[in-house]
Structure 1
Amino acid sequence: MITRRLLALAATPVLAVLLAGASQGDGGTPGAAGAGDPYFPQSGDGGYHVVHYGLTLAYTPATRLLEGSAQLTSTATQDLSSFDLDLSGLTVSAVTVDGKPAAVRRTGVKLQVTPADWLPKGRTFHTTVEYRGVPVSITDPDNAADGWIAQPDGSVFVAGEPQGAMTWFPSNNHPLDKSAYDITVTVPDGWTAVGNGRLLSQRSSGGRSTFSWHQARPMAAYLATAAIGRFQVAQTWTAAGLPVYNAVDPREAKAAAPVLAQLPDVIAWESSLFGAYPFDAAGAIVEHVPTVDYALETQSRPIYNVAPDIDTLVHETAHQWFGDSVSLESWRDIWLNEGFATYTEWLWDADHGGPGTAQRFAQYAALPAGDDVWAFPPGDPGDGAHLFATPPYARGAMVLEQLRRAVGDPVFFGILKSWAAEHRYGHGDTAGFVALCETRSGKDLDGLFATWLYGQGKPAQPGAPAPGGATPTVRHHA
C-alpha cells in the first residue's frame, strides 16, 4: 500500500457472555491468546489451525449493518480446553462448537471460546459464530485506516493488513495461520460484492443479490476481502486460460482501463521470472477512495483505492508470489514482501524502457544519510508502527540488487524462482532466504546481509549516483 501500520490492541472492558448449555471441558489446556509474534504478541491465537472459513454475510449500505455467520473448520494442535478468536466490535449472539453451545468471554479484541467438551490434539472441530453490527475500521499508529472501511455512500473498502480482518469476521488473525475460504455476501440489487478467488455463483431474489466466492489456496486472514460497491464489472481470460475479474468504480473506469488491460501481460511476465502464477483466478478491485492512501495485495484480486499506475499494478501482482503464496512467519520480515515487490517494479521498468535496476539503486544510494531510506534496517523495523515505512520497500529492494551483483543473474533469478517454489502456499523467513542464497551461490553472504539488511544508517560507500539520474520517488504500497 502507500503507508502501513499495525493495530495497537487497546485494553477494553471485559464482557462475559455465558451461552446456555455450555460447560467447562474436563481436559486440555487453553490455547495461547496470541501467535507469539514479537511485534504483535496479541495477534492470532494458539492451540488450533483453521483449515477453512465459511463466511455468510448480509450487508445493507443504507444502514451499514453487517450480519454475519462465520463457520470455522479447525484442527486442534494441542489438547484444547478453550481457544481464542480475534474480533473487534460487533455483537456476538451465539457460538457453537460441533453443534453444542459454547461459553464465550470477551476481553478487548479476544473472543475466548470454551466448548462444552474439550478437544483432543488432532481433532477436527467446527465453530459457528453468529454476529452483527456496524463494523468500525481500526486506526493504526501511522493514522492509516485498516479493515472494513465504509464510505459515505455505503460502499466498502476492505483491506486488512496487518490487523484489520477482525473488524469484519472472527479469525485466527496472523499470517502463520492460512486457510481456504468461501465468502458469500448478500447486498441490495445494483450493488456488487467482490471476494477472493473464483466467483462460484451470482443470483438475485427479492431485491437482493448474492455473490459466492471461493479461494481454494491457503490465505492469511489479512488478505481476505469482501469489497462492496456499484462497480463496473469485466470478466475476461488470459491467453493461458486464467479467469480475470475486474470490478471498477465508474469514477475510476477511464483512468484504470489502460492499466488493467496490461494485467495479463504483467502476470505472464512475472510468471517468467518467479514461476507459475500461484492462484486459479486474477483481477482487480478499483475503488474511488482517495482518502485511503494505499492499495493492498488481497489474494488473487488486489484492491486499489483509486486507478493504479502500472508500477502499482506490477507491485501488487508481485505480492501474489511474495506475501500471498509465500507468507511471513513474523511481521519483522516484512521486507520479504515489500522489498521483493518493489524490486519487481524496478525490473519491470528496466524491461520496459525505464531506468535500469543499477541506476535505481544508485539514485537511492546518493540520498543523504538523514534520508528516511536509512532510518532503520529493513530486516528489523523495530516495531509494528514502522512496518510500512521507507526502508522495507526501497532499501529492501537495494538488498536484492546487491545480492544480484554478488551472485550474478543466473543464480539470482534462480533464487527467486526457488524461493517461490519451495515455499509455495506456505511460509518463509529471512534466515531461510539467506540460507537459500548461500546454498545456491556457494558464497558466504553474511557481510552483504549484515550491511544492507541489518546495518544501522547509511553504508559507508553505498555507490555513486547514476549520471543524470533524478532523485527517486519512494512509493509505499501494501
Structure 2
Amino acid sequence: MVICRRVGAALVATTVTLSLGAAPAPASATGHGHDHGHGGVGTPGTPGAPGVGDGYFPAAGNGGYDVLHYGLDIRYEPATRAFAGTATISARATARLSRFNLDLRGFDVRAVTVDGRAARYDRDGQELRISPRHALSRGERFTVVVRYDGTTGRPTDVEGALYGWVSTPDGSFVANEPDGASTWYPVNDHPTDKASYDFRLTVPAGKTAVANGELVGQRTRDGWTTFVWRARDPMASYLSTASVGDYDLRRSTGPRGLPIIDAIDRDLGPEAADGLARTREMIAYFTDLFGRYPFTSYGAIVDDDEDAGYALETQTRPMYSGPPGEGTVAHELAHQWYGNSVSPARWQEIWLNEGFASYAEWLWEEHTGGRTAQARFDTFYARPETASFWNPPPGDPGATNLFAGSVYTKGAMTLHALRTKIGDRAFFALLRAWYAANRNDTVTTADFVRLAEQVSRRQLDAFFQTWLYTPGKPAVW
C-alpha cells in the first residue's frame, strides 16, 4: 500500500513522510446475527478454529482448511447498492472437520452447500459457521458454495478510514487491507491462505468492472454487462479487488510481452494517467534488481474517489483513489514482489511490505536522476530524537498503527542502514535471494534476518533489534 493507505494528497507525491493512520478494524465487526440452513446433522470431527492465530487480528482467517480457488459470481447495481453473490470455494481440509468457518460481514446468506449437498450454517459476528452432512477427512478436497445477497455500504476501520467494498456514486472502490475482503465475499481472510481467483462481475451496461488478472470474457445482454477476470497466480485475500466505475480500459505491453491493463475513470482529466507513463521502464528496472516480475499481467485502477484518499497494491492491478504520482506508482509496483508475492505471515510483519516498497521508491528516484537513497536517509536521520517520526518501532507497530509513517520510512531506513553495513554486493544479492526463496509464500522478520546473515556472513541480531524493535532514534548499529 502507499502510503499505501492514508495518503490523501500524497497520492501525487514522491515521498512517504506522512503519518498513514491506523489499521482497519479487527474482526469484531458484526455480521447478520444467526441464520440457519436446512442441511443434515453434523458428524464427528473437530470444528475448525475461528481464526489463524494472528496476534493483531485474532479473528482473521480460519483454521482447518486451505483454500485453493475462489470463484466469485457477483451482480451489483451502483444506483441502489443491491449486491447478489455466489461464491464457489475449492479447498482442502487440513484436519478432520465437523465444522469450518468462513469470514463474512453483513449480507443475508440464502444457501450453503458442501460438495453439492445442503449444509447447516449459522452466523456469529463475522463468522459464517458451516457444518457439512459428514465430517471432512484430513487431506480431503471439497467445494463449498455460498449464495448471499444484501446491500453494500461504506465500511470503515477502527479510525474511520474506508476499506473493503466501498460503495461510490458511480460504483465501488474495493481495497481490503488488512481484513476487508470479508465485507464482500465469504473468505479465509488472512495472507497465509493464498488462492487463485475467477471473477464474474455483472454490472449495468455502460459500467466497467475491473478485477485482478486478465480479462477473459465480456458480454452485454438485457442492459447488463458481465466481465470475467481470471487471476491464476496465488493471491492473498487482502489483495483481491472488484472495482466498478466509469472506467476506460487501456491496454499496452510491458517487458517480455507482459499484458498491462489500466482502468482510468472517465471523469478524470487527460493527465490522470501521467504517473503511469513509465510503468514499463519501472518493471524492467525492478526486474533487474529483484528478479522476474511475479505475475501474468499488470496495470492500474485510477478512480475519482475523493473520500478514500489512498492507494493499495491490489495484486496485478494497484488501486488508486485519485491520479497517482510517479513515486507512488513505483511504490505499488515494488509491492508486487514484496508484499504480494512474498507476503507477511502475520500482520506484525507489515514492515516487510512497506519498508521494502518505500525503499524501492527511493531507488527508483535515484535511478531517474533524483535524490540518492543516501541523501534520503540522511535527511530523515537528521530529525531529532524527540520527533514522533521514530515511533512506533516498525517491527511491531501494533494493530492500530499498521500504517504509521515509521513503518514506511524507518522501515526503508532499516534497509539502507543494512546496505551500508553489509555492502552493496551482499545487499542486492539479498534482495534477489529473498524474493527467489519465498515467491508465492509468506514470511516473517526472523526469516529475513536468517537470510541476511547467510548472505552477508555476519551476525545481525543486534542490528535488527535496534532498527526494528527499539523505540526512538537509532544511535549505534
Residue 28 of structure 1 deviates from its aligned partner by: 1.3
Residue matched to 1:452: 467
Q: Is the 8 A contact 1:253 1:307 kept in 2?
A: no
Residue matched to 2:318: 302
Residue type at the aligned position of 2:5 = I
How does 1:48-197 map onto structure 2 within 5 Å? 48-151=65-168, 153-197=169-213
Q: Pick from 325, 328, 331: which aligns with 1:315?
A: 331
Residue matched to 1:403: 418
Residue matched to 1:334: 350
Residue matched to 2:35: 17
Partners in 1 of 2:239 and 2:248 — Cα distance? 23
1:337-359 Cα deviation digits (max 9, x unpaired): 00000000110111112111111
1:331-383 Cα deviation digits (max 9, x unpaired): 000000000000001101111121111111111111122323212211011x2
Across the two proteins, how many residue pairs are aligned to each other? Answer: 459
Q: TM-score, normalised by structure 2?
A: 0.94
Moved more, 10-19 or 386-395: 10-19
Q: Is the 8 A contact 2:31 2:126 kept in 1?
A: no
Q: Is the 8 A contact 1:78 1:122 kept in 2?
A: yes
Residue 61 of structure 1 deviates from its aligned partner by: 1.3
Q: Is the 8 A contact 2:35 2:109 kept in 1?
A: no
1:184 is paired with a residue of what secondary structure? strand
2:425 is paired with a residue of what secondary structure? helix
Q: Pick from 32, 36, 39: which aligns with 2:56?
A: 39
Residue matched to 2:26: 8
Q: Pick from 276, 279, 304: which aligns with 2:292?
A: 276
1:297-319 Cα deviation digits (max 9, x unpaired): 00000000001000000000000
Determine what percentage of the aligned residue pairs are the same residue: 45
1:43-63 Cα deviation digits (max 9, x unpaired): 000000110000001111111
Moved more, 141-150 or 219-228: 141-150
2:307 is paired with a residue of what secondary structure? coil
2:436 is paired with a residue of what secondary structure? helix
How does 1:345-356 map onto structure 2 within 5 Å? 345-356=361-372
2:137 is paired with a residue of what secondary structure? coil
1:439-469 Cα deviation digits (max 9, x unpaired): 000011122111111111112368xxxxxxx
4+ residue runs of structure 1 moved beyond 4 angstroms? 11-14
1:230 aligns with 2:246: yes
Q: Is the 8 A contact 2:255 2:283 kept in 1?
A: no
Q: Is the 8 A contact 2:27 2:179 kept in 1?
A: no
1:407-456 Cα deviation digits (max 9, x unpaired): 11111011001111110011111000000000000011122111111111
Q: Is the 8 A contact 1:68 1:131 kept in 2?
A: yes
1:33-86 Cα deviation digits (max 9, x unpaired): 001001111100000011000000111111111110000000000000100100
Q: Cα distance 1:13–1:93, how it changes in 2: closer, same or farther (>3 A)?
A: closer
Q: Pick from 214, 222, 227: which aligns with 1:198?
A: 214
Please list every run of 5 or more consecutive structure 1 residues that lacks an aligned counterpart in the other structure: 463-478
Please list every run of 5 or more consecutive structure 2 residues that lacks an aligned counterpart in the other structure: 7-21
1:208-241 Cα deviation digits (max 9, x unpaired): 1111011111101111000000112111112420
Q: TM-score, normalised by structure 1?
A: 0.94
1:241 aligns with 2:257: yes
Q: Is the 8 A contact 1:91 1:133 kept in 2?
A: yes
Partners in 2 of 1:360 and 1:171 — Cα distance? 40
How does 1:374-385 map onto structure 2 within 5 Å? 374-381=390-397, 383-385=398-400
Residue 12 of structure 1 deviates from its aligned partner by: 4.6
Partners in 2 of 1:195 and 1:301 — Cα distance? 8
Residue 13 of structure 1 deviates from its aligned partner by: 8.3
